[in-house]
Structure 1
Amino acid sequence: MPGGMFRRAVAARAVRVAATGGPVLASGAGARVLRGRCGAGRSAADVARLLERLGGGFLKAGQLLGTRPDLVGDAAAAALGRLQDDVAPMPPSAAATVVRSALGTVPDGIAAALAAAPVAGGAIACVYRAEVDGRGVAVKVRRPGAAAAIAIDLAILRWLARTAAYLPPFRRVPLPGIVDELGVLLVRQADLRAEAAGLRRLRRALADLPGVVVPDTVPGLCGDGVITMDFVDGLDRSCAETLPPSVRREQTALLVRAVYRMLFVEGLAHLDLHQGNVYFRRDGSVALLDAGLVCALDERSRRAFTEFFAGMIRGDGDACAEVLVSTVRAEAGGTDLAGFRRRVRGLVVEAGGRAAGDFDLAGFCVRLFDLQRRHRLFADPRFVIPMTCLLTLEGAVRRNHPALDFQLEAAPYALEGLLRPAAAPD
């Protein structure tokens, strides 16, 4: 899209967002949801419907908020959780057009599936169950215009981030850099050809973790806007609520181990661990179905984050402080690095050895950024990405296994990551 047309599209989108969201925001519903005070009333449902109408990046934000009932409350999480896999589908003709453009023809089994209702619908794509040559498959089809909508919303978010960066609470917090990093991932999420490659990488990375299921892609039936993969049975978002607590706890621990292996060993940060992409199954396994928002960390970032977390496991605040100092940029005019190290040491000692129910990762991150801000240090946005991955995971852990020791579970994977030979520079 030419620059002038894009700017006009951004302006029109901003006007639509203000006009559509204004009445809901004026009612106070949005604020009540973010404060976790919407109760069982209409507020949460109103906000979910608003985000669904707005689509694009706003719908994506609603999906992520739905993973954190501890922050927004149970009613809001339930309402926003619908956005994870139950968004209104695209017309069958639009889905068929996307598949035909990607594959050249629409195989009979897939054509029949596209004419029926999808089994799931999210912000970027809808998923259909089909039979191809006797093989049960899931066909993920990108919504028309999804990539353009995300790009336009990111332009709005970048402007908001640059503006917020001038406010005292956000100074030296790398909001524009964080939005840029996430923006690259969100735009890439609309590239289903790249996601198919990411799914194969994720499957290889987790192949030696029994009980973790990552579907295989189907050669010849993936393209620009389409992924065809093995259909995974037994997917029910409500299943986790009906499983015995002991099974849920083991599945939660299994999911945490999978994430730690991705982060510390493979250098992969999965930022979309909501219930539309992660399923607890009745046989005790955990299914990971999506790789659209998986960020590959560069070797320096992977090792720095692993060293930081290893320091937390040991309660070694000095080591954690040194890692942070190596990743930040000091503001001109000097800073009190000795004071920064001392306060990081105290923060790490305070957090050490806490179970998930007692360890507030979101609060820890806020305090860490505040320490950097007060000591005139600028955080590296690439260091924020793996923290964001753990924040998306924390909600499921608090809900299903609050006694889990986040740090103890990380120990073997952090050690493996530190012993791993350095990869070639990216």
Structure 2
Amino acid sequence: MTELFLTVFGIAVNTAAVAYVATRLLDVRYTLWRLFVVSVCGYTAVQYGLLPALLRPFEHREPTSDEVAPVLALWCLVLVCAPVIAMILLVIWEAVVPTGAVPPVRTWFKGLRTRVRRTRRYLQILAIAARHGLTGLLRGRSQAAQDAEMARALRRALDDAGVTFVKLGQILSTRRDLLPAAYIAELSKLQDQAAPVPGSSAMRVVEAAAGAPIDEVFAHFDAEPLAAASIAQVHTAVLHGGEAVVVKVRRPGAKATVERDLDIIRRLARSLDRHTSWGRSMDVLGLADGFAEALREEVDFTVEARNLAQVAAAHDRRRSEVRVPRPHTDLSDEQVLVMERLPGVPLASAPLRERGLEGRDVAAALLREMFDEIMADGIFHADPHPGNLMLLDDDRIGLIDYGSVGRLDRELRASFEAILQAVDRQDGPALADALVGVSTRPDELDQVGFERALGSFMARHLVPGAAPGIRMFTELFRIIARHRIVIPPELAAVFRALATLEGCLTAIDPRFDLIAEARDIGQRYAERRLRPAAVQDLVLEEVADLLPVLRKLPRRFDRLLTAAESGQLSVNFRLFGKAEDRRTVTAWLHQTLLTVLAAASGIMAVMLLGNQNGPALTESLTLYEFFGLSLLLIASVMALRVLADIFTKKGRPD
């Protein structure tokens, strides 16, 4: 038993030593499972392969005194082969199966039930896609992208797939910059409807949020929902003070369903990005991430309550005529949102003429409100479709459903105003500069071509008498995408909101001149910025920003004069100012140096191995050949180090 223990202990120590040496030489951290496998292989190859072959001549006799030193040297050389063999196996393993490609063994059975449910749902989605003939689209058949029948099939498939995919289709229906008109028309037909949850279940959720029985919170609560969608349903209620409210209740299991489907959408987006050219050109990964973020906010009602409170405060600050519902945050939580009920009817079906209202005036007021939210408030309704617009009983406009909002900081608002001014002047170069100034400039931008394309666009769509429509927004986005201009998501949300609003304005008044009205609004903002009070505020803001710098200037100027007077004035120049750049260049130099040294050592090893002359160490090995074998091992270690850097993220310069 003692001998067995010592044997196992010796094998464990030798295996650990091999793993430690291999890891240190490669300077890369691997999983314990990989290190264990390759170390055992390296130790076994040496212990039961190379060492027996080395000692075979001395099986029946003892080495002479002249043979002891050579055999000891060869024995040390053979022992070095164990970590080298382990290094070779590690590099091959990393090249074939990169680290992270397979989940760790300890996680194989963790969350098995979740993975089974996700796989079942994934297969269900693939079955729906196959049933509607979408497998060709997933395989990258770009010609299907212009097929109206394929657009109808996509709409039916998304409808069958459920809540998350219906929401995805609704979002895509506003992306006229990405999809052809046939797809936009079909996806716009998606309706987010579902069977209502029983009123008793909804009431229990409301009681949990309010922390009190339903009768103590509300004077009246209608158990029958006013509307039911796949994420939430809406009930009407009256508070004890007499205020009419609506109660938005999240459906049980909606959050888990959304999270599961978002994971599947991310996987599908990754597959499309990897296997289709149109998926990469549309940046489906970015779309999936943006959609996931927006939908998670929509599921969490605390986000909508915060948005409503912020928008209401902004409206009060500028005394807006457009109303938004006020939230009751003390009665709301992540699953329940209680807010003011706005009395009115949907704006799309409102009898404007019967109430003495002109469609043009209503459309102009709605457009002014959108620009006020964008330019003055910096927070705006990101989805102003007809279902979110109301005409109230007092003839004012009401905006509801602020689950999705856009936000612009001061710099982006100034950039958007510069875009409006360039459009108003029909100035193609100024519009190009404004768009490039807020975007990630591509490495190779055809500035002249971009300016001409924008000038041609404005000459076709932004002249008096031109009728703006879907084609105008689609063409603008195509120009931006063709020149690889990446607009910030916040500003892209502005364009999408205006594109969505354009359809509502046309429905209110088919003769509404969006371009002329937008120009008038832009001129008002420009005039407002030129008023004495506005100029004074701007100057005060700039001076406040400059004051810290101005305070430091005299002291720094005095230091410069003192250094110049004493002859100590110097200039420091650093070629690579960023630490990341220095690390990248250092990694390249290390790889280049190791490659050169490995090649030189390998050439010298081959030359020495081919030299049969020199002092004999054994009957079959000379001293030069021993040096050649040693150099060959050294060359192998350096070459493996370079390959390890290449096959792992550590060695990939960003």
More moved, 238-247 vs 316-325: 238-247
Q: Provide the C-alpha distance between the structure 2 equivalents of 1:157 and 1:96, rounded to a whole number of angstroms.
A: 33
Matched, 1:313 2:313: no
Correspondence list, 1:372-387, <5 A: 372-387=480-495
Mapped contact 2:352–2:359 kept (Cα < 8 A): no
Q: What TM-score results when the alignment is normalised by the length of structure 1?
A: 0.78
Structure 1 pair 367/91, CA: closer, same or farther in 2 (3 Å)?
A: same
The equivalent residue for 2:244 is 136
Aligned residues: 410
Identify the residue that residue 55 of structure 1 maps to in structure 2: 162
Query: Does structure 1 residue 260 correspond to structure 2 residue 371?
Result: yes
Question: Is the 8 Å Cα contact of residues 126 and 143 (structure 1) preserved in structure 2?
Answer: yes
245-254 vs 341-350, greater mean Cα deviation: 245-254
2:166 matches 1:91: no
Q: Per-residue deviation at 1:185? A: 2.0
Q: Do structure 1's residue 280 and structure 2's residue 377 form an aligned pair?
A: no
Supply the distance in 2 between the matched residues of 1:298 and 1:176 (Cα, whole angstroms).
25
* 1:201 Cα offset (Å): 1.7
Inter-partner Cα distance in structure 2 for 1:303 and 1:139: 38
1:184 equivalent in structure 2: 293
One-letter identity of the residue aligned with 1:349? A
Structure 2: distance between partners of 1:329 and 1:258: 30
Is 1:295 aligned with 2:406? yes
Give the TM-score taking structure 2 as reference length: 0.53
- 2:336 pairs with one of 226, 246, 250: 226
Deviates more, 1:410-419 or 1:117-126: 410-419
Aligned to 1:151: 259
Q: Indicate how the Cα distance of structure 1 residues 215 and 318 shifts in structure 2: closer, same or farther if over 3 A, else same.
A: same
TM superposition shift of 1:3: 7.9
Give distance in 2, aligned partners of 1:13 and 1:306.
Answer: 46
Q: Distance between the aligned counterparts of 2:439 and 2:284, measured in 1? A: 14
1:107 to 214, 237, 240: 214
1:152 and 1:300 mapped to 2: Cα distance?
A: 37
Instruction: Check the 8 A contact 2:221/2:238 in 1, yes or no.
Output: no
Out of 102-111 and 133-142, give the one that drifted further. 102-111
In structure 1, distance between residues paired with 2:116 and 2:218: 37
Paired with 1:326 and 1:78, the residues of 2 have a C-alpha distance of: 33
- Stretch of structure 1 that moved more, 234-243 or 316-325: 234-243
**Counterpart of 1:359?**
468
- 1:271 corresponds, among 344, 357, 382, to 382
Q: Tell me by how many angstroms 1:223 deviates.
A: 1.8
SS at match of 1:155: helix
Do the aligned partners of 2:169 and 2:187 also contact (CA within 8 Å) in 1?
Answer: no
Give the direction of change, closer, same or farther, for the CA distance of 1:280–1:72 in structure 2 (3 Å limit): farther
Q: Tell me the secondary structure at the aligned position of residue 141 of structure 1.
A: strand
What is the CA–CA distance in structure 1 between the aligned matches of 2:493 and 2:379, rounded to whole Å? Answer: 10
Post-superposition offset of 1:67 = 8.3
Residues 157 and 87 (structure 1), Cα distance of their counterparts in 2 relative to 1, 3 Å cut: same
Structure-2 change in CA distance of 1:280 and 1:35 (3 Å): farther
1:137–1:324 distance in 2 versus 1, CA, 3 Å: same
Q: 2:596: which partner in 1?
A: none
Measured in 2, the distance between the counterparts of 1:5 and 1:168 equals 35
Choose 1 or 2 for highest CA Rg: 2
1:126 is matched with 233
Gaps in structure 1 of 5+ consecutive residues: none
Shift of 1:230: 1.6
Report the counterpart of residue 212 of structure 1 in structure 2.
322
Query: Relative to 1, partners in 2 of residues 1:413 and 1:98: Cα closer, same or farther, differing over 3 Å?
Result: farther
Query: Does the 8 A contact of 1:203 with 1:214 survive in 2?
Result: yes
**1:6–1:152 Cα contact (<8 Å) kept:** no
Return 211-220 or 389-398, whichever deviates more: 211-220
CA 1:37–1:235 in 2, change beyond 3 Å: closer, same or farther? Answer: farther
Partner of 2:92: none
**Unaligned stretches of 5+ residues in structure 2:** 1-109, 135-143, 546-654
Q: Percent of aligned positions with the same letter in both sequences?
A: 29
**Partner of residue 106, structure 2:** none
Q: Is the contact between residue 172 and residue 379 of structure 1 (CA under 8 Å) also seen in structure 2? A: no
Tell me the CA shift for residue 256 of structure 1.
1.8
Q: Is the 8 A contact 2:301 2:333 kept in 1?
A: yes
| Aligned Cα root-mean-square deviation (Å) | 4.3
Q: Check the 8 A contact 2:468/2:515 in 1, yes or no.
A: no
- Structure 1: which amino acid aligns with 2:292? G
Shift of 1:238: 6.5
| Superposed displacement of residue 219, structure 1 | 4.8
Distance 2:442 2:185 in 1: 43
Counterpart CA distance in 1 for 2:326 and 2:310 is: 10
Q: Residue 176 and residue 199 in structure 1: after superposition, are their counterparts in 2 closer, same or farther (change >3 A)?
A: same
CA contact (8 A) 1:67 1:275 kept: no
1:180-205 per-residue CA deviation (whole Å, 9 max, x = no partner) reads: 23432221111111211111222233
Deviations 1:330-349 (A, max 9, x none): 444x3322322222232233
Distance across 1 between alignment mates of 2:281 and 2:161: 31
CA contact (8 A) 1:67 1:396 kept: no
Deviation at 1:412, TM superposition (A): 5.7
Would you say the 8 A contact 2:270–2:285 is kept in 1? yes
Deviation at 1:404, TM superposition (A): 2.0
User: Taking structure 1 as reference, are residues 47 and 283 closer, same or farther at Cα in structure 2, changes over 3 Å only?
Assistant: farther
Query: CA offsets per residue over residues 342-393 of structure 1, 9 Å max, x none?
Result: 22232233321467x8213x43444344334443444433332211111221
2:305 counterpart of 1:196:
yes
Q: SS where residue 228 of structure 1 aligns? A: strand
| Contact 2:232/2:251, CA 8 A, preserved across alignment | yes
Whole-Å separation in 2 of the counterparts to 1:157 and 1:312: 38
Greater RCO, 1 or 2 (C-alpha within 8 Å, sep 6+): 1
Q: Provide the rounded CA distance (Å) in 1 between the counterparts of 2:273 and 2:417.
A: 28
Judging changes above 3 Å, is the alpha-carbon distance between structure 1 residues 19 and 160 closer, same or farther for their aligned structure 2 residues?
closer
Higher deviation after alignment, 337-346 or 149-158:
149-158
8 Å contact kept, 2:464–2:516? no
- Whole-angstrom distance in 1 between the partners of 2:280 and 2:505: 31
